[in-house]
Amino acid sequence: MENNFNENLNESSQSDDFKLYTLDTLSSKLNNQNYKKFVIQIDNDNVDYFESFSPSERTKLINKFLSLEQIKSRSDYRKKRIKEYIIHLTIVIVSIFVFLPFFYYTVNKLVLLTLENYKQTQINFEKLYNDNSLKKKDLTKLKYIK
């Protein structure tokens, strides 16, 4: 079985595509480039057009399309990252210009309420102290009166 395969390879009825592929493979090994074979599907509308190219032109065409697609993909990725960056920047700016003043306003109100509460507490303690001191004085007066 293996001998038949080798014999078929050595026959002169090899297709031009195969010969070109082997030449490309040999030249690639000389240039230290690695090639990989892929099977691709082409729409029926494009088959005749694609067959009009030589195998090397087909390879160049496919590689060109792949390179363009890769460039487009990188560009799309960059655009996506820039869009995300702009969204995050917008959120930060809105946070700074809207929520920061609101935060300061809230903290200011809390401090004012705390100070007011301390003042009220101080007034209450002073009243309580004054009332208690008067009561004690009255009690002491009562003791002396007895």
> With bands split at pLDDT 50, 70 and 90, how would you rate the model's confidence at 8?
very low
The span from the CA of 93 to the CA of 44, in Å, is 54
> With bands split at pLDDT 50, 70 and 90, how would you rate the model's confidence at 86?
very high
Q: Given a cut of 50, is residue 100 above it in pLDDT?
A: yes
Residue written as tokens 């399309």? Answer: 65
Q: Given a cut of 60, is residue 145 above it in pLDDT?
A: no
**20-29, 75-84, 97-106, 107-116: least confident range:** 20-29
pLDDT given for residue 129 in this prediction: 78
pLDDT given for residue 107 in this prediction: 97
> With bands split at pLDDT 50, 70 and 90, how would you rate the model's confidence at 128?
confident
Q: Rounded mean pLDDT of 67-92?
A: 97
Selected residue with higher pLDDT from 89 and 139: 89
With beta carbons less than 8 A apart as the criterion, state whether 28 and 35 touch.
yes
Average pLDDT, the chain: 79
Q: 10 Å Cβ neighbour count for 142?
A: 9
With beta carbons less than 8 A apart as the criterion, state whether 47 and 41 touch.
no
Selected residue with higher pLDDT from 15 and 31: 31
